[in-house]
Structure 1
């Protein structure tokens, strides 16, 4: 990934009027995705979605359709919305671009879903991909969930047949997947959502940022400040920044993850007027609004995590698991005696099993969920 932004008119921003239908496809184009076994056709799209607070915006993504030979003659293929890990705040690090370049870090999970005969839709997320719309709304779970659910809407309405949908992701992608499960009953009730698979879920961004700040992952803590500030730009979230901090935010907004980790190793206090910016009342409000686990998914949820995860401690997902159980969510759990990156790979078979079970289950017709 690099932070250089090459102009591509396909990704031009489109001004939208309030009141339009979410998930409306604005334009598409076929693309070639190299090194993707089982791929039949791939196409990028630009579609409509909404920000955290319901403002209409354009977003981009990519859809990968399996080779018909592995679909067993199925007319309506299940759709997996695959939410990738955090790639950066700007530049050419949108998944829809990285897949075409052959450099997408999450290609293994995407290929695994494609090999099941499922159609895979990958959202770029709000503020990433679309020219001039950044920076990416990193850690803004509501915004990410809107983009994921509206991509499912776009893919469903773009074809002739409505299809069952699942959402899958890991780390920040797992956070978005879990948020999509929580928001779908109110935001996109017409979707036939069958399952959620979410690994290394970040429940509380405040706890994550505090744990990362000042360590080798400080660049992600800084990126969190930038992404959440963008998502909550109607609030005075930048009032703590020094002049140096303001310039740093501007520069970081165009960087991918690699450069963020290299160039923003300093603690957040270096860029702010107080050593504990997250204890500011405005930021406490933002972070409390972004905690997961307060709403009830109706679709079954599979959570998985690494016991030795030092990036996203396992207590984060265990808290969500307990919350879901207390409200009767159909939730399953897998844990592995490995660190963060290894758990992403080890969790693939269990995640695929959970998604297959979801697609095999008849759609819900209402009623209360039950624990499994």
Structure 2
């Protein structure tokens, strides 16, 4: 498929890109995902677009259901202040918007997909399942965010989904859970969607944010950064589900769990964003640990669950120290993680913070603390503890609230975008679990 170029003077696909195919764990990454050498000057500016065929769609009376999709690449700014290309997808719903005002736009920040470029959500929208079995390095990625996206489209809400910095694009590694990178990618996705021609989204369209887990942290960061980084984005409401607001707490929780592979993605991303951490990493990592981080850098979440689930980070270090031990011993790392904390700035718009009370993967306590911190800062916060039985398993305790609360979260966001008020629950938060 040939990419279309939006805007005068914007670089096309690299010359000879089709002859220089980049692969990740044996999966070819389309040439679309290779950024040009020169990027636009403005954040949110479109770099290139192309039609995106959806894996799950049905013929309707007035077109395809749930709508039409466009793959996008847009400019953002990374945590070091440099320009960066980010990919994603815009979805124009077939369903009408029945609320007041123009059709609203929701930026969906995906949950954890992995660190390999084949894991990007925009590719998952096209293929549903990315599968490479029997190759030198097998891989599997499932587009589980499709359900949330389609629920929003069914309500007549336009959706733009970001792949985040470095996930999909072949020029750098994905900076997993980096607060600034993820917040910028979310806000610039909204700008890019409004720059697309021939959509029903207008400059007056209200913007909402939706994310769970990694996505919950990304939209929480975006809500904090909006006033300083993107005041032009008309942010009205945010749903932040199971946000990893305190990375140190999350690190301690997932070490030795099914999600232990996420430790490697975090470390890989930290070192790319902050090169001063490299000597520290070299000092503590064993040869085994280096091999694990390299392996994880191309893995999707399914791959990591099978390969590194229930592993302990102490198996990857020279002296048998865990990542938590190293954080406690290294001031530079402690300071870096402290700067990644979400909850030190008042969020824009109204925010619904949802967290499972037995979530011990992205710990309930640190998510609840985020709501408390935002209330103290004068934020407009709806705190929603999700009460489910303790499944006795961190993975189930984390994903159970995603499934059970998703419909409520989508409805809540739609009502806010339609202009219906929602009272803050800050006053009763001390009484809630």
* TM-score w.r.t. length of structure 2: 0.78
Alignment of 1:184-223 (within 5 A): 184-223=226-265
| CA deviation profile, 1:340-365 (whole Å, cap 9, x unmatched) | 212112212332233223323399xx
Q: 1:248 to 1:370 in 2, by over 3 A?
A: closer
1:326 to 376, 390, 394: 376
1:278 to 316, 327, 348: 327
Report the equivalent of 1:366: none
CA distance in 2, matches of 1:341, 1:251: 25
Report the equivalent of 1:354: 412
Report the equivalent of 1:100: 126
2:181 corresponds to 1:140? no
Report the equivalent of 2:399: 341
What is the deviation of 1:120?
0.6
What is the deviation of 1:211?
1.5
| CA deviation profile, 1:109-164 (whole Å, cap 9, x unmatched) | 11111111011111001110011322x11111211111111111111122472121
2:87 corresponds to 1:60? yes
Report the equivalent of 2:55: 34
What is the deviation of 1:75?
8.3
| CA deviation profile, 1:57-102 (whole Å, cap 9, x unmatched) | 11100111100x4335988321100111101111411000001002
Q: 1:318 to 1:20 in 2, by over 3 A?
A: same
1:149 to 182, 187, 206: 187
CA distance in 1, matches of 2:164, 2:354: 22
| CA deviation profile, 1:223-268 (whole Å, cap 9, x unmatched) | 2222222222354353332333333322221111122223234322
Please, which runs of 5 or more residues in structure 1 have no aligned partner? 364-368
Alignment of 1:177-326 (within 5 A): 177-236=219-278, 237-239=280-282, 240-265=284-309, 266-274=311-319, 275=321, 276-279=325-328, 280-326=330-376
Q: CA RMSD in A?
A: 2.4
Please tell me whether the aligned partners of residues 90 and 256 of structure 1 are also in contact (alpha carbons under 8 angstroms): yes
CA distance in 1, matches of 2:405, 2:101: 29
SS state at 2:73 partner: strand
| Greater Cα radius of gyration, structure 1 or 2 | 2
CA distance in 1, matches of 2:172, 2:263: 21
Alignment of 1:60-79 (within 5 A): 60-67=87-94, 69-72=95-98, 76-79=102-105
CA distance in 2, matches of 1:183, 1:110: 24
CA distance in 2, matches of 1:362, 1:207: 35
Report the equivalent of 2:78: 51
CA distance in 2, matches of 1:335, 1:186: 29
What is the deviation of 1:3?
4.2
Please, which runs of 5 or more residues in structure 2 have no aligned partner? 1-23, 59-64, 130-142, 389-396, 428-433
SS state at 1:321 partner: helix
CA distance in 2, matches of 1:353, 1:328: 25
Q: Bigger CA drift: 28-37 or 146-155?
A: 28-37
Please tell me whether the aligned partners of residues 220 and 238 of structure 2 are also in contact (alpha carbons under 8 angstroms): yes
SS state at 1:70 partner: coil
2:111 corresponds to 1:85? yes
CA distance in 1, matches of 2:365, 2:371: 10
CA distance in 2, matches of 1:342, 1:26: 38
